Structure 1
């Protein structure tokens, strides 16, 4: 069984919501990177709706950290919305929870 990642994008004038579902791991993280690279983010908020992410490993976390850096350099902000227990636990284990703006829902 190959893990899958599904992505959806909604754009407004100052906010982009990227909906992510599935597993965010070594095999699928590059798809999120590619999708985010295609976005024009200067001064925008990038909100990642992650409530349907069932698993995230260090590769997924690395993508989130890279996105946080990229969006910050562009004068925007990154929000993580709806993290489930396992991805949230990964942020806690790695001491990275405080680096992100977490929201329960969009």
Structure 2
């Protein structure tokens, strides 16, 4: 498990990474915006030898702007090119609305819970 937690300050993004049955689970908390998108990209830069299968747990993400959307799309594309996938799980209503408005849910599979994302 890799833990890159930052102090819980407004505008910060906390990132916690774990591996469940060979799938990388990245739990995020806070805001994904221009200032924090780099932390998201770093967390999703998988080391060699790790299966390119990632579930993003977004239950505690309170805000996401276009920087977050762009990061998700870039990671999705990178993982797909490596014969992997990215799945989103547990999006809070405000974040889910952004994902739906820009059509990310038509490109990246979204699930109500991490357990459902891991099972599919």
TM score, norm. by length of structure 2 = 0.80
For 1:86 and 1:41, the matched residues in 2 are separated by 35
For 2:111 and 2:90, the matched residues in 1 are separated by 6
Q: CA RMSD in A?
A: 1.8
Structure 2: where are the runs of 5+ without partners? 1-8, 115-120
Structure 1: where are the runs of 5+ without partners? none
User: Any runs of at least 4 consecutive aligned residues in structure 1 with deviations exceeding 2 A, and if so which?
Assistant: 38-44
Aligned pairs for 1:86-101 within 5 A: 86-101=94-109
- Worse-matched range after superposition: 32-41 or 83-92: 32-41
Aligned pairs for 1:5-24 within 5 A: 5-12=13-20, 14-24=22-32
Which structure has the higher relative contact order (CA within 8 Å, separation 6+)? 1
Equivalence for 1:62: 70
Once the two structures are superposed, residues 17-62 of structure 1 have per-residue CA deviations (whole angstroms, 9 ceiling, x without a partner) of 0111100011101111012114447643200001000000000011
Within the alignment, does 1:35 sit opposite 2:43 as a pair? yes
